[in-house]
Structure 1
Amino acid sequence: MTFTWFITGTSSGFGRLLTEQLLTRGDRVAATLRRPEALDDLRAEYGDQLWTARLDVTDTEQVRRVVDDAFQRLGTIDVVVNNAGYGFFASVEEAADEQIQRVIDTNLLGSIHVIRAALPHLRAQRHGRILQVSSAGGQTTYPSFGYYHASKWGIEGFCETVAREIAPFGISLTIVEPGATPTGFGDSLDTAPAMPEYDKTPAGDVRRAKDNGTFPLPNDPRRITGAMIDLVDTTATPLRLPLGPDTYNDVRATLVARLAEHDAHRDLALSVARDGAR
């Protein structure tokens, strides 16, 4: 069975790999990116199987226009993949205001607006799937990624709510959480000038690992995009799909620690209830 996919951020990384794999197997793809010419080679090979459009997800009006156009031109769209993202690496103090704004506008607000633009169409056709690309950093944290985490934790909370709201319409949503992967994302990370005060802190340690190439990248990008395709081919609709040993191990450790701390405050939590409300 073939599907029609709408994917943001297809010029490189997971978006490009996903587009290539889908076209190879015969699916149709509406690929959006800031520079459509980056997919000229695929357009020449696959013709009408590939539809492209220029899209900057931080432009809300453009998001609405492009999503509406894709549904109008292609008819049914089975899967919407929110993949476009902006990687930002800096300690909290080092970041510039415009960098903070960009990571929130792209990873959080951009993803929100794509989902909002697609929902009326998905509701009308009474089926569809949304894959929201997050990361291990949507549930756990690493030094120097604070603003990136703010965007990813935010979109995960939003998507949990959306998933419950849209289920009655036959629409599912899965948050995809890849771990660290050699897609070129690390090389394209925006950074800020390092403050010497953070050199001998965990933030400094992570910066050195990134700069000297020792930050571990244990995952295969093609296997990650392959797992996303396999998920759509099944009837499984998990809320979250952890991909990578680092995602699995780091997120699990975080959840176990959070639950232990949560349970440690049980008596205090219950003590503030009104009489008879426990």
Structure 2
Amino acid sequence: MNTTWLVTGSSSGIGKALVEQLLERGDRVAATLRKPEALDELKARYPGQLWLAQLDVTDTPAIRRVIEQAFTELGRIDVVVSCAGYALFGAAEEVSDEQIDQQLHTNLVGSIQVIRACLPFLREQGGGRVLQVSSEGGQLAYPNFSLYHTSKWAIEGFVESVAQEVAPFDIEFTLVEPGPTHTNFGAALVSPPPMAAYEHTPAGDVRRAVASGEFAMTGDPVKMAKAMLDVAAASPAPKRLLLGSGAYERVHAALTERLAALERQQAVALSTEMD
């Protein structure tokens, strides 16, 4: 049975690959992006299936207006995919206040407001599915991506909580966690001027690895989009969908290390209860 999807951040990468696959299989898609002309060719090929709207997710009133319009005009939206985002690439001391605000307003506040704007409509229609694109960087961290990781760890906490709040309304969530993906992610990095003090630190090492191509972007956005399409039909919805062999290995190692550290602290934790 054909379904209707809403996809934010659909101009490129995984978001665009997902839109293309959905249209090809006959689904309807409400796609939002900052420059709708980026999907003109798809609109010409699928005029009856593709609904387009301009949206910058840092504009909360626009989020509410566009999402209300999408639900009103399309009648029902079965799956919401919150995909808009980018990475601020610099040591915490290097980035500017304005860059921090933009990173958090796009990746975190924008994602929160997209979900909040959709919830009343999903409740009223009797349920739905939300796929929030996070990152392997929502469960581990690299130097030089501190503000990007802040946004991803935070959106994961938000989704973990709100999923419990709306479960009685048959609204389910999955956090999608891609590893480094062969998209324009690297080219889209926002980088402040580097400070010489960080040249010979882990932050400088990561900066050089990205510049040289050593920081490999091996994930296939088409295959990742297909995995997202499949997980939207899974019941019950898994809390997380990790994408990429390297991502699996790194997250597995990070969680194993954290669990071991937690277990080493068991005695201290238990000793702090009131007598």
| Deviation (angstroms), 1:48 | 1.8
Decide whether the 8 Å contact of 1:182 with 1:219 is kept in 2.
yes
Q: Which residue of 1 aligns with 2:240?
A: 240
Letter in 2 for 1:76: R
Q: Which residue of 2 aligns with 1:177?
A: 177
User: Do structure 1's residue 257 and structure 2's residue 264 form an aligned pair?
Assistant: no
Paired residues, number: 275
CA displacement 1:244-269 (0-9 Å, x = unmatched): 11221111111111111111111111
Q: Which residue of 1 aligns with 2:107?
A: 107
Q: Which residue of 1 aligns with 2:74?
A: 74
Letter in 2 for 1:141: A
Q: Which residue of 2 aligns with 1:50?
A: 50
| Deviation (angstroms), 1:233 | 2.8
> Take 1:238 and 1:178, find their aligned partners in 2: how far apart are those partners?
15
3-state DSSP class of the match of 2:46? helix
Q: Which residue of 2 aligns with 1:96?
A: 96
Q: Which residue of 2 aligns with 1:267?
A: 267
| Deviation (angstroms), 1:86 | 2.0
| Deviation (angstroms), 1:174 | 0.2
| Deviation (angstroms), 1:167 | 1.1
More off after superposition, 256-265 vs 61-70: 256-265
Letter in 1 for 2:268: L
> Take 2:146 and 2:101, find their aligned partners in 1: how far apart are those partners?
13
Q: Which residue of 1 aligns with 2:5?
A: 5
3-state DSSP class of the match of 1:183? coil
More off after superposition, 84-93 vs 211-220: 211-220
CA displacement 1:74-129 (0-9 Å, x = unmatched): 01100000000021100111101111111100000000000000000000011200
| Deviation (angstroms), 1:199 | 1.0
Aligned pair in 2 of structure 1 residues 265, 234: CA closer, same or farther (>3 Å)?
A: closer
Query: Structure 2-normalised TM-score?
Result: 0.98
Decide whether the 8 Å contact of 1:86 with 1:102 is kept in 2.
no
**Gaps spanning 5+ residues in structure 2: where?**
none
More off after superposition, 230-239 vs 220-229: 230-239
Query: Structure 1-normalised TM-score?
Result: 0.97
Letter in 1 for 2:104: I
Q: Which residue of 2 aligns with 1:226?
A: 226
> Take 1:142 and 1:73, find their aligned partners in 2: how far apart are those partners?
42
**Gaps spanning 5+ residues in structure 1: where?**
none
> Take 1:220 and 1:39, find their aligned partners in 2: how far apart are those partners?
20
Q: Which residue of 2 aligns with 1:39?
A: 39
